[in-house]
Chains A and B, each alone.
Chain A
């Protein structure tokens, strides 16, 4: 009976090898997909039961985890919830958004950069904490933008044109992330449903996403860049500026200037056309140069380009195949041109930074649980849309817009501000108030900040000036807040 016994013991060994293989399959090879399964409550408990690292603005945590006595163990708290909500997002039981999502692996300590720290805890037996994320946000600029947009729908974003660091990112209306991070899923669900149904779309981060905006006359900066880059134009070039421009290919569709009047004569200088934001000259020149030239210029500024800051930014877009009439409308930031405020701030930033767009970013440094810096964002060039000389010319023209033109509400005594206004019609109906735009940088001779502001329904139909008077002061207050430091 011993021969079969020996064979039986081999069989038993094989059975156990199979079991070890099965366990290895589940616990090693399948583990990550099982952990990521949406039905896996354990992942929730683990992540929420952990001392998640803070999101820090200027040394103060704006999002942090607090020990609580519930099955999860830690509650995410947002210190100044609505103010920073577009940046932080929220960390809920079933969903994480914004920075909480984008920097999740750093915050929960599983990022590759924290490997060393994890190996250490393996030996010391200490609990692996989360890393922290320090943002580039300037709290003064953030607060100024928040206050200036009070009671209105809109967005403001400010970047440092020299580095791409995002200094302010405000979207209104906002929401309280604390309600969405509640551990009672009934409460959190109710809050979430309420916010989803809110017609003000408070959950949108309007600076980088949402439904995007028509840029209106701020798009003329891209027209201008395209024209100057051809080398055939300078600020003194006289260009046609009729009161009405019959859109090519149409019977009677007229494109008019803001206010419907003339724009200072049959021909005007390029400088003057930008100063008062004439529509007809830019539309005609766009048709003359064609939609491809305009699209190329727009894409050079970053249109259509994926970008993560680290939250992903919805790419701005220029229509793919417009007819000449549509090209004319696109040139004044209407038709199907759609942009994010961040994209328009990047246009100003390119002018401010000698023609180079720096890659925008929100995370200045990442630190491990031991507060050692594990990653630091190095500024890098994102795009080179215009030459330095074009940038210099555009700067002068934008300074002129604020000093003598539609941008006057952005004037700051003692500081040269360069900017461009915009009033974007959101429908053909004259009852719908257009969105008011302003993008700028300052000081013009030593740029430290580039901003873009949009105020929804802030303008008056056909009135460029009213839009400017709504959006430009917001930009001014942000600039003042940054320059005051």
Chain B
């Protein structure tokens, strides 16, 4: 406890400065090139754009230094690069659409959303001193998340755009609630699973060498599945449905370490989706488009045709290996080029090379998220970080896979890039959360001990000692690895070293849940 690390701890803040410079240069450079290549001059609001992007970089860097100085130095620069490139391509499509006689000004709005998103991320970093606080709101998050998820189904409030019932409109404001819902649901899943993982891990029958869970524990999975299929059918959106269900199954797997959950989940989803395809023509259309996009009768279909998808493919094809260059392609010929099809716009102007570079940025971002989940000490943090990181990756997969015809097209947006305030703001909030979790993941044990975790752990240690040999409420079947929900103390091998300090690296901090249980009368 008292030992001070002999070598200086690298916080990575200096690296972050250089990476931020690079990220801002990517965005600002792209923005400048769009102007130069389309109008032989810098865009009118170039100064404002550069200032805001640089401002976001400076502010976030300072906030991170102040409140989360051990945070992963890659997170903010990676996101800022994506956001900046996204702004440049949105501006480029504004120009293209305006040239077609359709005035478009998504760029300035997106710039405003970027600033707001970054401010909110900073607010999360500042206000949320410890991510474990969120665990208190497990069920609040569930209720809010489910409400948001079903909100677009409400008659009079929900709006149908491009065949997907994903939006709500209140006066002049429109909003895609699923974006915020995914954060809330990730919090809920993390809180719920960390509490109930032991029950869910209980062994059921073994079939074909696969350890199945007990039938009675299938309840939550069934519920998630029902909601996912409901979203698919009513909101007509495979993307949100997939995203939500994928998030749940991934987190369930991380919590229980049982592959059988994944297999059961996938089978259920496939069965449900298959049923939906056969029962509902609009879902079937999507599959039709996916499989036979280039057929001329599907291409020419007035509603639900593959025209948009195929025009996106034409854009990608035009881009080829090296791309047409900023402002040199025709991305505005594809409908919704700045939102659903921003990937094909990027592929057209930046080529396969640029697109792969962008995908790598996302991949690194997701991998850093999963890495911090491994590093962080508490189960809730692990689940939340992995859930959020996985959503990010999965959302990319669903969007890019849809545009490149790997999977059926869906209505999801590309995180950080697509035009749209709800998505951008929600994803910035996710980055705020990840910065917070990565700070505690990377914080050296010694220093951590002196701060938040230390106090918390001490309290936990005390309370567990008081409980002494307390039994779990579910006294009968004891889980394979740990004690019952309230019996963390049995897991002595792991927990003993926790009393002096939390320098054990791979330790689960499940016990603060236990503390709560104990303290509750």
Question: Given that A19-B396, A23-B404 are contacting pairs, would A12 and B322 also be in contact in the complex, using a CB cutoff of 8 Å?
Answer: no
The one of B318, B320, B366 in contact with A28, judged by C-beta atoms closer than 8 angstroms, is B320
Is A43 located at the chain interface by the 8 A CB criterion? yes
A5 CA to B337 CA in the complex, in Å? 35
- Which residues 428-453 in A have Cβ within 8 Å of B in the complex? none
CB-based nearest A residue for B258: A4
- Chain B residues, CB < 8 A from A12: 363, 366-367, 370, 389-390, 393
Tell me which residues from 70 to 123 in chain A have a Cβ below 8 Å from any Cβ of chain B: 71, 122
Q: A22-B404, A39-B296 are in contact. List 18 more A-B contacts (CB 8 A).
A: A1-B379, A2-B506, A5-B370, A8-B250, A8-B253, A12-B367, A12-B393, A18-B406, A22-B401, A25-B404, A27-B316, A27-B352, A28-B321, A28-B352, A32-B317, A34-B317, A42-B315, A45-B333
Q: Which residues of B contact A20 (CB under 8 A)?
A: 356, 359
Q: Which of A19, A40, A41, A45 has a CB less than 8 Å from the CB of B400?
A: A19
Docked-complex contact A3 and B317, CB < 8 angstroms: no
Residues of B within 8 A of A39 (CB): 296, 299, 310, 314
The 8 Å CB contact of B393, one of A16, A37, A71, is A16
Question: Is B362 located at the chain interface by the 8 A CB criterion?
Answer: yes
For window 298-329 of B, CB contacts with A under 8 Å fall at 299, 310-311, 313-322, 324, 329
Which A residues have a C-beta under 8 Å from some C-beta of B? Answer: 1-6, 8-9, 12-13, 15-16, 18-20, 22-28, 30-32, 34-35, 37, 39-43, 45-46, 71, 122
Contact B313 A34 (CB under 8 A): yes
- B314 x A34 contact (CB < 8 A): yes
Judge whether A3 and B314 touch: CB under 8 Å: no
The number of A-B residue pairs with CB atoms under 8 Å apart is 140
* A19–B393 alpha-carbon span in the complex (Å): 11
Interface size for chain B: under 10, 10 to 19, 20 to 34, or 35 or more residues? 35 or more
**Cβ contacts under 8 Å, A9 to chain B:** 366-367, 370-371
A46 touches B313 (CB 8 A): no
Q: Tell whether, in the assembled complex, residue B355 and residue A27 are in contact, meaning their CB atoms are under 8 Å apart.
A: yes
11 contacts between A and B (CB under 8 A): A1-B255, A4-B254, A8-B386, A12-B390, A23-B355, A26-B404, A30-B317, A35-B314, A39-B299, A42-B318, A43-B314
User: In the complex, which residues of chain A have a beta carbon less than 8 angstroms from the beta carbon of B250?
Assistant: 8
Q: From known contacts A3-B257, A5-B254, A16-B397, infer whether A24 and B352 are also in contact, taking CB-CB under 8 Å.
A: yes
Contact of A45 among B319, B330, B366, B508 (CB under 8 A): B330
Q: With A1-B379, A22-B405, A26-B313 as known contacts, state yes or no: A35 contacts B359, CB within 8 Å.
A: no
Contact status B400-A22, CB under 8 Å: yes
With known contacts A5-B373, A12-B393, A34-B314, A23–B330 Cβ distance under 8 A: no
Assess whether B177 is interfacial by the CB under 8 Å rule: no
Whether B322 and A122, one on each chain, are in contact in the complex, defined by CB atoms closer than 8 angstroms, is yes
Complex Cα distance, B390 from A27, in Å, reads 26
B99 at the interface (CB under 8 A from A): yes
B27 to chain A, nearest CB (A): 20
The complex places the Cα of A12 from the Cα of B253 at a distance, in Å, of 14
Most buried by B among A8, A18, A28: A8
In the complex, the 10 A-B pairs of residues with the closest C-beta atoms, listed nearest first: A34-B317, A22-B404, A22-B406, A27-B352, A31-B317, A9-B370, A16-B363, A40-B314, A12-B393, A15-B397
| Shortest distance from the beta carbon of A409 to any chain B beta carbon, whole Å | 57
Alpha-carbon gap, A169 to B338, bound state (A): 51
Shortest Cβ gap from B354 to chain A (Å):
10
**Residues 382-397 of chain B, each 1 if its beta carbon lies under 8 Å from chain A, else 0:** 1100100110011011
Please name all residues of chain B whose beta carbon is closer than 8 Å to the beta carbon of A25 when the two chains form the complex: 404
Q: Which residue of B lies closest to A46 (CB)?
A: B318
CB distance from B97 to the nearest CB of A (A): 12
Whether B404 pairs with A71 at a CB distance below 8 angstroms is no
Q: Are B374 and A5 touching (Cβ within 8 A)?
A: yes
Q: Of residues B382, B389, B400, which shows the largest number of chain A Cβ atoms within 10 Å of its Cβ?
A: B400
Q: Tell me which of B316, B324, B355, B405 has the highest count of chain A C-beta atoms within 10 A of its own C-beta.
A: B316
Partner of B253, one of A4, A24, A28: A4
CA distance A29 to B311 in the complex (A): 17
Closest Cβ–Cβ distance, residue B384 to chain A (whole Å): 12
How near does chain A come to B160, taking the closest CB pair, in angstroms?
27
Q: Are A1 and B383 touching (Cβ within 8 A)?
A: yes
Q: Which residues of B contact A (CB under 8 A)?
A: 99-100, 250, 253-255, 257, 294, 296, 299, 310-311, 313-322, 324, 329-330, 333, 347, 351-352, 355-356, 359-360, 362-363, 366-367, 370-371, 373-374, 379, 382-383, 386, 389-390, 393-394, 396-397, 400-401, 404-406, 506, 508
CA distance A3 to B254 in the complex (A): 8
Q: Tell me which residues across on chain B come within 8 A of A122, comparing CB atoms.
A: 322
Residue in A closest to B315 when the chains form the complex, CB atoms: A42
**CA gap between A40 and B319 in the complex, in Å:** 13
Shortest CB distance A112–B (Å): 16
**Residues of A contacting B347 in the complex (Cβ-Cβ under 8 angstroms):** 23, 26-27
Q: With A9-B367, A16-B363, A23-B347 in contact, do A1 and B508 touch (Cβ < 8 Å)?
A: yes
Tell me the nearest residue of chain A to B351, going by C-beta.
A27
Bound state CA distance, A46 and B324, in angstroms?
10
Known: A5-B382, A26-B404, A122-B322. A42 touches B333 (CB 8 A): yes
Nearest chain B residue, comparing its CB with the CB of A12: B393
- For the complex, give the distance between the alpha carbons of A28 and B99 in Å: 29
Name the A residues within 8 Å of B322 (CB-CB). 122
- Alpha-carbon distance between A5 and B374 when the two chains are bound, in angstroms: 7
The listed residue (A19, A32, A35, A37) touching B401 by CB distance below 8 A is A19
Provide the residues of chain A in CB contact with B294, threshold 8 Å.
37
CB neighbours of B370 from chain A (8 A): 5, 8-9, 12
Bound form: Cα–Cα A12–B254 in Å:
14
Q: Are A1 and B356 in contact (CB under 8 A)?
A: no
Looking at the complex, which one of A16, A22, A27, A71 makes contact with B317 (CB distance below 8 Å)? A27
Q: Which residues of B contact A26 (CB under 8 A)?
A: 313, 316-317, 347, 404-405
Q: Are the CB atoms of B314 and A4 closer together than 8 Å?
A: no
Q: Please measure, in the bound complex, the distance between the C-alpha atom of A167 and the C-alpha atom of B374, giving whole angstroms.
A: 79
> When the two chains form their complex, are residues B320 and A31 in contact, meaning their CB atoms are under 8 A apart?
yes
Chain A residue nearest to B399 (CB atoms) is A19
Given the complex of chains A and B, what is the CA–CA distance between A15 and B253 in angstroms?
A: 17
Write the nearest CB–CB distance from B410 to chain A, whole angstroms. Answer: 14
For residue B249, give the distance in angstroms from its CB to the closest CB of chain A. Answer: 11
Contact B257 A1 (CB under 8 A): yes
For B401, list chain A residues within 8 Å (CB).
Answer: 18-19, 22
- With a CB–CB cut-off of 8 A, which chain B residues contact A4? 253-254, 257
Determine whether the beta carbon of B317 is less than 8 Å from that of A1.
no
Beta-carbon nearest neighbor of B385 in chain A: A5
- The smallest beta-carbon distance between A95 and chain B, in angstroms, is 19
Q: Which of B318, B355, B363 sits near A43, CB closer than 8 Å?
A: B318
In the assembled complex, which residues on chain B have CB atoms less than 8 Å from the CB atom of A30?
A: 313, 317
Tell me whether A27 and B506 are in contact in the complex, defined as CB-CB below 8 angstroms, given that A8-B254, A45-B330, A71-B100 are known contacts: no
Inter-chain contacts of B373 with A (CB < 8 A)? 1, 5
List the A side residues contacting B383 at CB < 8 Å.
1
Residue of A nearest to B194 (CB): A1
